[in-house]
Amino acid sequence: MLKFLITVIRRDVLLAARRRGDWLTAQFFFVMVVSMFPLGIGPEPSMLRAIGPGVVWVAALLACLLSLGRLFAHDYRDGTLEQMLLSPYPNTLLALGKALAHWIINGIPLLVIAPVLGIQFNLPAEAVWILVLSLAIGTPILSLLGSIGAALTLGLRGGGLLITLLILPLYVPALIFGAGAVDGALSGTGSEAHLSLLAAFLVMSLLLAPWVSAMALKVSVE
C-alpha cells in the first residue's frame, strides 16, 4: 500500500513538472496578492507588521483554492481516475496521495516564497520563522480539506465556484490559528498554543479528509 501511495504522489508530481503553467499560476497569484498590499496601504512599518500575517495566510488560502479544480479533473477526463478507483488498494490511499501531491506541488513553493514576502511587511526574523512554520503545518490542511471539495464537485459545471463555497468555511480555523501564531510571536504572548491547535487540526484532517474524499470520488465517478 505504501508503494501505491508513493506511486500516486510521484505520478502527479511528474505530470505537474510537464505542465508548469498549471501550478506556476497559483504561485504568481500568491506573490502578486501579497505584494499589492504594501503598495496600496503605504510604507508605515507598524501597519504592515500588523496586517502581514493575515495577508500572507489569506493569499496562501486563495492560491490553494485556485489550483484545487485540477486536482482530479485531468484524470477524470481521460478515464485514469476510474481505473485507479478499480485498483485493489483502498481508495483512501488514492485520495491521500492526490492531496499530498497537491501540497508538494503547490504548498512547498509557498514555504520557499513566504520568508521573502514576510520581509515586505517588516516582520522580524522570529515572526518570519513562525510564519513559515505555521504555513508548513497549515498548508497540508488546505490540500487535504480541498480534496474533499474537488471530489464532491468533480464533473460539475461551475465546479470552481462550488469548491470555494464548500471548502472556504472549513479553512477558517486554519487561517485563524496560522495567523494567530505569528501575531502571538509579534506581541510576545507566544505562538505555542496556536501552533498546537493547528497541528491538532492537521491530524484530524489526515484522519478524516482522505476517507471523505474517497467516498465523494466514488459517488462522483458513478
Question: Which pLDDT tens digit goes with each residue over 76-130?
Answer: 888 888 888 888 888 899 999 999 999 999 999 999 999 998 888 888 989 999 9
Q: How many domains does the chain have?
A: 1
The average pLDDT across 144-167 equals 82
pLDDT of residue 153: 85
Q: What is the mean pLDDT of the chain?
A: 88
CA separation, residue 97 to residues 81, 141, 171, 189 (Å): 13, 14, 20, 37
Provide the domain limits for residue 135.
Answer: 2-221
Residue 22 near residue 152, CB atoms below 8 Å:
no
CA separation, residue 83 to residues 22, 38, 75, 78, 87 (Å): 24, 48, 9, 10, 7
Question: Does the pLDDT at position 193 exceed 90?
Answer: yes
The average pLDDT across 139-145 equals 94
pLDDT of residue 159: 63
Distance CA 35, CA 49 (A): 14
The average pLDDT across 31-52 equals 87
Residue 180 near residue 133, CB atoms below 8 Å:
no
pLDDT of residue 43: 77
